[in-house]
Amino acid sequence: MRIDVLTIFPEFFSVLDVSLLGKARQAELVDAHVHDLREWAAIKADGTPDVHRTVDDSPFGGGAGMVMKADVWGRAFDDVLQPGGVLVVPSPAGVPFTQALAADLAQADQVAFACGRYEGIDARVAEHYQAAGFRVLELSLGDYVLNGGEVAAFAMIEAITRLIPGFMGNAESIVEESHADGLLEYPSYTRPASWRGLDVPDVLLSGHHGKIESWRREQQVQRTRERRPDLLADRDNGVAQ
């Protein structure tokens, strides 16, 4: 899979080489490229040089802050987006990013992330590439406000790339994770069996795999009911996670 990230803070993604993603890059499972958006701001739309490499301007209709310029993003994506590529625009106004979307995007040949800053990106950028036939997804990491799209893009990249076949050493562990089956995962324990007066549940020491499996299932349902009743409702209504 090819991943492209466009941002005015490319150094933010320097850690992409750390962790498993680094190994996946070596194993050519992931071909990741980070681009500095300002490279496409050196020349203004009228062809004259812009020494300030301006990427933002004041919002039409007034209001606080600045908006990122469509013409700069357009020149950048014209160079970076490949046929069939998916354009992901992290945004607090986006649809929720989920495990199901991560699994879906893990099948893509290219995913390009538009990391906005300021008040966001001129809305015509998503509109233009949608109209040009690209799959454009405005996705939110969660119901809280960040200062830009970089943190969200990073989280989405990790959630997506770890689902690429061959990425995670033991694919089995993926199956048992939270959200894999619409339920939160069961609690896990390891040695010592007793710690500060807290003992590991006896069933886990029983060696009785049937009982262990049903206990773990019950724990998943109980936790989900307590912490994420919305997931249980979705599950009962057959909504993909």
| Distance from C-alpha of 154 to C-alpha of 183, rounded to nearest angstrom | 24
> Does residue 60 bind ligand JD8 (CB under 6 A)?
no
Output the smallest distance, CB 127 to ligand JD8, in A.
Answer: 17
- Taking CB under 6 A as the criterion, the residue among 152, 163, 183, 231 binding ligand JD8 is 152
- Taking CB under 6 A as the criterion, the residue among 39, 50, 71, 119 binding ligand JD8 is 119
Where residue 57 falls (left for φ over 0; alpha for ψ -120 to 50; beta otherwise) is beta
> Does residue 85 bind ligand JD8 (CB under 6 A)?
no
Beta strand residue intervals within 52-179, DSSP E: 56-57, 67-68, 86-96, 110-114, 135-140
Stretch that binds ligand JD8, among 54-62, 112-120, 187-195, 201-209 (CB under 6 A): 112-120
> Does residue 158 bind ligand JD8 (CB under 6 A)?
no
Residue 199: enclosing H or E segment and its boundaries? strand 198-199
> Does residue 59 bind ligand JD8 (CB under 6 A)?
no
- Write down the residue that tokens 């019950």 correspond to: 218
Number of residues binding to ligand JD8, judged by CB under 6 A: 18
Cβ contact 109:2 at 8 Å? yes
Binding site for ligand JD8 (CB under 6 A): 90-92, 94, 116-117, 119-120, 140-142, 144-149, 152
